[in-house]
Chain A
Amino acid sequence: MASRALYSPRHPMLKKRDSFEDILEERRHSSDLRYALRCYTPTLYKGLVPCKASMLKSIVLQSDHLQYVIKQVSSESGDSTECVAEEASLILDEMAHRLQLSTVRFFVFTLSKAFKRLFRSVCVNEEGIQRLQQAVQEHPVVLLPSHRSYMDFLMMSYLLYMYDLPLPVIAAGMDFMSMKFVGEMLRMSGAFFIRRSFGGDKLYWAVFSEYVKTMLRNGYAPIEFFLEGTRSRTCKSLTPKTGLLNIVMEPFFKGELFDVNLVPVSISYERILEESLYARELLGIPKPKESTSGLLKARRVLSEDYGSMYVYFGHPVSVRSLTEGKITRSQYNLLPRCIPQKPSADTHEFLNDTAFRLVRIQEGNMVLKPWVLIATLLLQNPDGMDLSSLAEQTDWLRHLALAFGAFLDWPDHAACSEVISCSLALHRHLLSVSAGHVQLSVTDAPQVETTPEEAVFHQAVVVLSCASYRNQILHVFLRPALLAVAMQSANSNRKDDVYNCFNFLRNMFSSEFILCPGDSVQDFEEACYLLMKRGVLQVLEHEIVMSASGHSTLAFLSSVLDPFLQGYQVVSRYLCEETNENLTEKEFIPAVRNFALKLILAGRLKCYEALSSDLQKNALAAFLRLKAVMKVKVGDQVTLKVNKIAVNSLEDTLGKSDVISHQNSWWSSMAMFEIAI
């Protein structure tokens, strides 16, 4: 059942989603203290091996796996096994959680207060909770939430406590540990800490993986981690990591567990707490190191309105049914299972594929608010829009999004203009509205004297903040948009020409968006299907033809990708024009940023998103992948070697779509078309 849900071709109109309940409703009417102290009796896994947190440590240290690695490390390094074992024990101390119900109760109390201040409502699909209750009893569970905010895992634990589900243990990055007090609090509410990078450290890997596996095998608690690895600063899903996924699947591969349930969870925010923080970070204003005092300053955020928050628990996905016909478990038969084995090529491909599909499930279950549509339109109209035309276009876009399967939370029985004014009010700090005209703009009291550079950055903060909302809906439009751009840049209407262009763009943007490797044909067909159904295209046997009414939709779709096309062009222009032999990897981002800034100041570039370090990083990754740039290690530094001819030709191919000339013309063309009718 579960695997079918994961692999079925997307059929947007048939997608059925559960309804939501607001959990704050009850909190507003009864005592938070009594609630925090209430009797907590979670549903338990049927195969649970009861075990205290302190026991866990000795089980891990005594495990055959760890003992094996300790001996191995000791013979390689020459240190005594006792010494290595001691080191392992220290690693485990640094890592391990110390889940305490009392700390959780404290968090429940304070979070109840905080959530009520921050959010109008916190909505949960209770059917998903019921499914989870079932899943938790049958097999060990892995929770896979999306990651947009620090709020995510607090909210997860809060919800699980609330619904009498076992509290998860959460893989968290080490950076939290620098906030001493908060770090320890989080530890006591179930977080365990892993170093950000431990590449070749065998011992660390062994302790870490054994720790996670032991908890999973014993059914100690659900394991929670973020497939994306870190918070997405752009609200686009990040390319998933497979390391932890491999760890939680291995007990199944090796027959130690009958099955493991993976539960993707989509957490979406109407307004993200870290919104402008992220934008600043993307513009190179460094992220303040997590510190307790920093967090206290963040109290300011408590006084603002962040709208609603949505948590959607997806269908549990059984690892057993996922692997059917894909993984030969007998490959593990010939070595004792305590000896660590690197995943085989097949397994690796499977993990990667699964990770992508899980992230797509997360994307599909993210709730989109009307503001997301408005933000998309406002970004395409940097000079602002009349409220009336904004209403009209939003309504048009709403129908397009729904037809493509967007999980749009549009209020029932409300006039479009009303919905829009509500949205604008919530996000007023990004807008200026005057005389029926809306425009993205800097609203914070401008500094008395700003340099032109500062002005650009102020505007860029607004644009990137706004883009983080548009980005939430990109996954809905992505495939048709790639097709739209491909049709513009292809030499002919021939299907294979268009497909080649589509495939090129897909490769180009595979770090930017979630595009499952190997799904290129499927994606192409999906895009064709959606646009055909919408009456935009006719897909014939060898040709793809635009319908008479299709121009406006295609123009809209290609302008969705426009900032990315322009941004990548800026990066390639930089690589061709400005670089010398000794460009180090570290210098790359600031240098491109300066380059883009100069172009903007000179009036040659309007696209503020080109300033985003995320985009710049992704573009570089694309050039590296396409072998137009090579990494060369010189001493301790990594320098980038640019093949200018290759970069140039990529830029040409990107430039072919020539979207700039089409920009903003889609609506007028539609209007004309409507008059013609």
Chain B
Amino acid sequence: MKWNGWGYSDSRFLFNKKGQAEFTGKRYRLSGLILPSLKDWFEGTFGANLQHKSPATPTVNLSAVAPPDLNEPFVEDLKAAGVAMSHDPEDRVFRAHGHCLHEIFALREGRIGRVPDMVVWPSCHKDVEKIVELACKHNVCLIPYGGGTSVSSALECPREETRSIVSLDTSQMLNECGYCTGHEPDSMEFSSLGGWVATRASGMKKNIYGNIEELVVHIKMVTPRGVIEKSCLGPRMSTGPDIHHFILGSEGTLGVVTEVTLKIRPIPEYQKYGSVVFPNFQQGVACLREVARQRCAPASIRLMDNEQFQFGHALKPQVSSIFTSFLDGLKKFYITKFKGFDPHHLCVATLLFEGDRGKVLQHEKQVYDIAAKFGGLAAGEDNGQRGYMLTFVIAYLRDLGMDYYVIGESFETSVPWDRVLDLCRNVKERIVRECKERGVQFPPLSTCRVTQTYDAGACVYFYFAFNYRGLSDPVHVYEQVEHAAREEILANGGSLSHHHGVGKLRKEWMKESVSSVGLGMLKSVKEYVDPQNVFGNRNLL
């Protein structure tokens, strides 16, 4: 795994000597392939230049890591209990951050802030109970750690924390089994079950399997007050407010999730990708809304705007034969000339169907029929599959951008159907405008997609990136623009977060989002469960 970027060390994008983009490694469908049009897209979109590099510091500067501030009696007691631990600087640095832009940017520059003083690896529920008990006894701060994929500054060590900080790594507590949960967030390769529960995660295929709150049957969590769990596995209960909802989304402020019982499903017999081209984004949104209304959404349905469609296009690998390229040309001709779609307005929905074969085909027809009513044209499996690939490699692409003065990130929201279009347009425009006002030289990439559909609305995902040459403090500019974009989202009826969580990054808007009484309720739970603030990551509240 990379210490200052996304994912596996062997997988990364680079521009080779011929100036062509390629993706290294063997893990992904895209691995080992040449992406001939990425360079042009990259240079054209950001005004970037392959001559202007901004390489990262190659290795961790361990001398920059402050020596651990250990609570000796705690360490002694832990040793006696036989829990694995480390205060090796590399282990500590690795667990001091998530994947927010400012965190990765600092690491690439070799800047290291406060890191946990030690890391512990419990191997079972009993271990966790022991650790929490000792932490209370010796007053140390515990920060639970799952996969480290947070994008809400949730893993940052609070600056004001004076106690010894212990990172409690739960990632090794998972076992393989022969089923699937169907929960597939974009970070799925790296994130952890405990993390999913603690952040109210959402998966790509929630339409079939549900979001984490619908998948969970039972949760066991160790808190400073003791263990919280329900007494049975009943599928639904009317026993007052659901205590699971204190845990789901608690973002590590209340305790450590040690056991989760999830619903499992047989691995689906048949999977089929698909895609639909719409003449414009409005038509696409109208189609998704209709699909949601008829409750026939496939496992996944996503609508990319025009900028993202072009971005996806730039990731097309080199075609193997003249015939394929001829076919591509023909397709393009059909859509733009024959059907009259404007290449600067058209947008694409990607689809993923799952289930037994007959039902999938039937389902597919139903969805394509609806799409046709909104001017949508089926555009093949290949486009669909590439669309989903994009979500798994986008984080790798950010690292490539950062090698060439381009920084960016994604953020998300959920919004009622009737406001989707207005919100998308206004937020994108706000980003462009804020960048201009803050001296960004080239227009930014400001793009969105609708990634989830619900009865009452949709989840919208924004990508935002820009070329920061000429800016003295690019991260600050980035943060100001993201802040403005979030304000715009809230002003347009969007939520503070659909699934990324609040962390420390979005805390300032919590009161506005849930009312001061709501916030008070959450605070009083924290007060009761963890009066000493042992789980002191200061997220959420």
Chain A residues near B (Cβ < 8 Å): 255-256, 258, 328-330, 332-333, 336-337
Q: What residues of B have a CB within 8 angstroms of the CB of A255 in the complex? A: 419, 422-423, 426, 491-493
B418 lies within 8 A of chain A by Cβ: yes
Most buried by A among B418, B423, B426, B512: B426
- Residue ID in chain A nearest B430 by CB atoms: A258
Contact A258 B493 (CB under 8 A): no
Contact A333 B422 (CB under 8 A): no
CB distance from A81 to the nearest CB of B (A): 22
A336 to B512, CA, bound (A): 20
Q: Mark B413-431, 1 if CB is under 8 A from A, else 0.
A: 0000011001101100110
A520 to B490, CA, bound (A): 35
A256 to B536, CA, bound (A): 42
A106 to B419, CA, bound (A): 43
Q: What residues of A have a CB within 8 angstroms of the CB of B512 in the complex? A: 330
Q: Which of B418, B426, B491 contacts A330 (CB 8 A)?
A: B491
Q: What residues of A have a CB within 8 angstroms of the CB of B493 in the complex? A: 255, 330, 332-333
CB distance from B460 to the nearest CB of A (A): 13
CB distance from B62 to the nearest CB of A (A): 47
A91 to B426, CA, bound (A): 33
Kindly list the 5 A-B residue pairs having the minimum CB-CB distance in the complex, ordered from nearest. Answer: A329-B491, A255-B492, A333-B493, A255-B422, A258-B429
Q: What residues of B have a CB within 8 angstroms of the CB of A328 in the complex? A: 491
Q: What residues of A have a CB within 8 angstroms of the CB of B429 in the complex? A: 258
Most buried by B among A255, A329, A330: A255
Most buried by A among B418, B419, B430, B491: B491
Q: What residues of A have a CB within 8 angstroms of the CB of B430 in the complex? A: 258
Known: A255-B426, A258-B426, A258-B429. Contact between A337 and B418, CB under 8 A?
Answer: yes
A256 to B492, CA, bound (A): 9
A328 to B492, CA, bound (A): 10
Contact A329 B418 (CB under 8 A): no
Contact A330 B490 (CB under 8 A): yes
A258 to B426, CA, bound (A): 5
CB distance from B375 to the nearest CB of A (A): 16
- Residue ID in chain B nearest A323 by CB atoms: B491
A328 to B491, CA, bound (A): 7
A256 to B493, CA, bound (A): 11
21 sampled A-B residue pairs with Cβ under 8 A: A255-B419, A255-B422, A255-B423, A255-B426, A255-B491, A255-B492, A255-B493, A256-B422, A258-B425, A258-B426, A258-B429, A258-B430, A329-B491, A329-B492, A330-B490, A330-B491, A330-B493, A332-B493, A333-B493, A336-B418, A337-B418
Q: Mark B462-490, 1 if CB is under 8 A from A, else 0.
A: 00000000000000000000000000001
A255 to B419, CA, bound (A): 8
Q: What residues of B have a CB within 8 angstroms of the CB of A333 in the complex? A: 493
CB distance from B396 to the nearest CB of A (A): 33
CB distance from B60 to the nearest CB of A (A): 43
- Residue ID in chain B nearest A47 by CB atoms: B425
- Residue ID in chain B nearest A256 by CB atoms: B422
CB distance from B38 to the nearest CB of A (A): 29
Q: What residues of A have a CB within 8 angstroms of the CB of B423 in the complex? A: 255
A336 to B430, CA, bound (A): 23
Q: What residues of B have a CB within 8 angstroms of the CB of A258 in the complex? A: 425-426, 429-430
A336 to B416, CA, bound (A): 9
Given contacts A330-B490, A332-B493, 14 further A-B contacts (CB under 8 A): A255-B419, A255-B422, A255-B426, A255-B492, A255-B493, A256-B422, A258-B425, A258-B429, A258-B430, A330-B493, A330-B512, A333-B493, A337-B418, A337-B419
A628 to B492, CA, bound (A): 46
CB distance from A559 to the nearest CB of B (A): 49
CB distance from B489 to the nearest CB of A (A): 10
CB distance from B119 to the nearest CB of A (A): 41
- Residue ID in chain A nearest B495 by CB atoms: A333
A421 to B490, CA, bound (A): 63
Q: What residues of A have a CB within 8 angstroms of the CB of B491 in the complex? A: 255, 328-330
CB distance from B282 to the nearest CB of A (A): 10
A328 to B490, CA, bound (A): 10
CB distance from A633 to the nearest CB of B (A): 43
A280 to B492, CA, bound (A): 52
CB distance from B393 to the nearest CB of A (A): 32
CB distance from B13 to the nearest CB of A (A): 34
Q: What residues of A have a CB within 8 angstroms of the CB of B492 in the complex? A: 255, 329
A329 to B493, CA, bound (A): 9
A332 to B425, CA, bound (A): 18
A328 to B493, CA, bound (A): 11
- Residue ID in chain B nearest A328 by CB atoms: B491
- Residue ID in chain A nearest B282 by CB atoms: A49
- Residue ID in chain A nearest B433 by CB atoms: A258
A235 to B492, CA, bound (A): 42
Q: What residues of B have a CB within 8 angstroms of the CB of A330 in the complex? A: 490-491, 493, 512
CB distance from A326 to the nearest CB of B (A): 13
A330 to B512, CA, bound (A): 10
CB distance from B81 to the nearest CB of A (A): 50
A337 to B418, CA, bound (A): 9
Q: What residues of A have a CB within 8 angstroms of the CB of B418 in the complex? A: 336-337
Q: What residues of B have a CB within 8 angstroms of the CB of A337 in the complex? A: 418-419
CB distance from B89 to the nearest CB of A (A): 45
- Residue ID in chain B nearest A334 by CB atoms: B493
CB distance from B29 to the nearest CB of A (A): 38
Q: What residues of A have a CB within 8 angstroms of the CB of B422 in the complex? A: 255-256
CB distance from A377 to the nearest CB of B (A): 49
- Residue ID in chain A nearest B490 by CB atoms: A330
A330 to B488, CA, bound (A): 9
Q: What residues of A have a CB within 8 angstroms of the CB of B426 in the complex? A: 255, 258
CB distance from A319 to the nearest CB of B (A): 13
- Residue ID in chain B nearest A329 by CB atoms: B491
A255 to B491, CA, bound (A): 8
A256 to B429, CA, bound (A): 13
A330 to B426, CA, bound (A): 14
Interface residues of B in 373-424 (CB under 8 A from A): 418-419, 422-423
A329 to B512, CA, bound (A): 13
- Residue ID in chain B nearest A64 by CB atoms: B418
A169 to B489, CA, bound (A): 32
CB distance from A215 to the nearest CB of B (A): 17
Interface residues of B in 137-154 (CB under 8 A from A): none
A333 to B493, CA, bound (A): 5
Q: Mark B497-527, 1 if CB is under 8 A from A, else 0.
A: 0000000000000001000000000000000
- Residue ID in chain A nearest B416 by CB atoms: A336
Q: What residues of B have a CB within 8 angstroms of the CB of A332 in the complex? A: 493
A337 to B492, CA, bound (A): 11
Q: Mark B105-124, 1 if CB is under 8 A from A, else 0.
A: 00000000000000000000
- Residue ID in chain B nearest A327 by CB atoms: B491
A332 to B492, CA, bound (A): 8
A603 to B351, CA, bound (A): 92
- Residue ID in chain B nearest A254 by CB atoms: B422
CB distance from B4 to the nearest CB of A (A): 37
A333 to B415, CA, bound (A): 10
Q: What residues of B have a CB within 8 angstroms of the CB of A329 in the complex? A: 491-492
Q: Mark B427-471, 1 if CB is under 8 A from A, else 0.
A: 001100000000000000000000000000000000000000000
Q: What residues of A have a CB within 8 angstroms of the CB of B425 in the complex? A: 258
A330 to B413, CA, bound (A): 15
A328 to B487, CA, bound (A): 10
- Residue ID in chain A nearest B422 by CB atoms: A255
A540 to B423, CA, bound (A): 54
CB distance from B350 to the nearest CB of A (A): 27
CB distance from A266 to the nearest CB of B (A): 29
A633 to B153, CA, bound (A): 65
CB distance from A341 to the nearest CB of B (A): 14
A623 to B186, CA, bound (A): 69
- Residue ID in chain B nearest A49 by CB atoms: B282
A333 to B492, CA, bound (A): 7
A328 to B429, CA, bound (A): 19
Q: What residues of A have a CB within 8 angstroms of the CB of B490 in the complex? A: 330
A336 to B418, CA, bound (A): 8
CB distance from A252 to the nearest CB of B (A): 10
